A and B are shown apart, each in its own frame.
Chain A
Amino acid sequence: MTSACHTVEPDAISGATHRRRIPIAYWLLLPGMAWLLLFFVVPFYSLIATSLYDPQGGVDSGYEMTWHVANYAHAIRDYAGPFARSLLYGGVATVLCLLLGYPLAYAIAFKAGKWRNLMLVMVIAPFFTSFLIRTLAWQLILADQGAIVGFLKWLHILSADGRLLATPVAVVAGLTYNFLPFMVLPLYAALEKIDPSLIEAAGDLYASPVRGFLKITLPLSKAGVVAGTLLTFIPAAGDYINAQLLGNTQTRMLGNVIQDLFANVGDYPAAGALSMSLMFLIVGMVMYYIQKVSTDELI
């Protein structure tokens, strides 16, 4: 901004044009950029630094910055289980969200008629309650004395002393429930844009409903599938609330470990290294995924 003053030339006219050079768009960007700088770039930098501290230090005695890259190898080796579970539970929940969410989004977009807005509100309705409260409610739904467990026992799917709470099933169910709207909304947005006459045209051109769906509807909704799976997988893989409230010690995800290391154990370097590892892994997977699915077919 000071450069505008430095470039004032003897020629008054060109000086005036120079002063007007900062377009209004940049001023509009300023608050957002300042926010990101303060609450994303600075913490991100500090997290990288934390992950490279000397692990000999402690919360009370302070840490020394020693570029201790070995933190990463140690952390990943010690916590390979939670690491794998994060990806597995997140992945399974994403697939379940897609299987549940696609028919729902399709119905809202094409079949709901006058109920469309109501159904969309119902998809968003869970957000009116806290994430934590909703997950706690699942403790009741899946409780040992609850109706679902009772029904599954009656069907002999669960053994007499079997339970759902504190199992991987409960964690994945919670994740699926909590992130379903993030799958449905982008899918709906993509499906809603499809001209229904395209589906009629496919039928007119000898495509059975199933073929028409596979050849026309599904490819045209690909952008929604990509956006939905990303919006579901990324937060689901990093989640720790569901594993905390619905799981047990054997279902701990990486989020639980990081939270524990930061808050209880006080091993900042390991927690930082795990955070960075998970982040880089997810970014890498997402980039590979986008490149794989979207070559030129995303419209």
Chain B
Amino acid sequence: MVAGPDVAIEVSGLRMRYGTKEVLDGVDFAVHRGEVVVLLGPNGAGKTTTIEILEGFRLPSGGGVRVLGEDPAQAGEAWRAEVGVVLQSWRDHGRWTVRELVGHYGEYYRPYATAERARPYPPDELLDRVGLAPQADQQVKKLSGGQRRRLDVAIGIVGRPRLLFLDEPTAGFDPVARRDFHDLIHRLSDLEDTTILLTTHDLAEAERLADRILILDGGRIVADGSAEQLARQVAGHTEVRWTSGGQRHVHATEDGAAFVRELFARFGEDVSELEVTRTTLEDTYLAMVARSDARRREDEVVPSHPEAVR
């Protein structure tokens, strides 16, 4: 496996087993420099396990992982300085003020500053960016859930990492906080060229943020592409509803425009109450996961290879 200079993450044949349970069963994917990739999947699909392996917090049972050209399990502190981790929100550092905490974690990155990349971010500038400037002197334990989460993001990016991992960053956000967070991710990606890998359960969020979406299910990547590409992989990705002859009709089609053209050619003015709906990411996601479920059931019922009999 040779990682090109533009590849930030390369994963091949990644396996993870807890006891007899196979959580990751040969995961392959790559993330390019500057890409924003969203990892989707049902609960227990192994999203968090995958991210923790990439962060270097967990040892895989097998397979190859390169993150910024190094094996995260062996990588040193200089590698650590290039990787930002947004942790789940806990209750740590409750007595610290917001500014002190961001300032403190920034300190660790100071020796890694270069002429072209000044680091860490000055605390006040960073707090302004994540919308926590008014809370700068507040104690961390007095922040609301959404503010606390933005603080976690601030600490994750204070060292201006080249690669950022976020595990369900917007869980518990209100819509305004969510919108602000999305803007922040866009800015990081556009202005800083930060490579970002995040997990979420929010499909609208995935669609807004992702250059590319990976769906992890049953320990494997079952889909890999942009939201549009994924939709195209699911049959009948446009739904057309109309009324003609006093009757309501529904038809799923690959090409909505062609179908509607034909519809008018055949029925003309008789067509009313026309609705054309593109498949949402949610439909795509549900279809993909259902497909992977069906495949798994098939494997269980009719063992397709000898190993599966055991």
Asked if A and B bind, the verdict is no
A residues sitting closer than 8 Å to B (CB atoms) are: none
B residues bordering A, Cβ < 8 Å? none
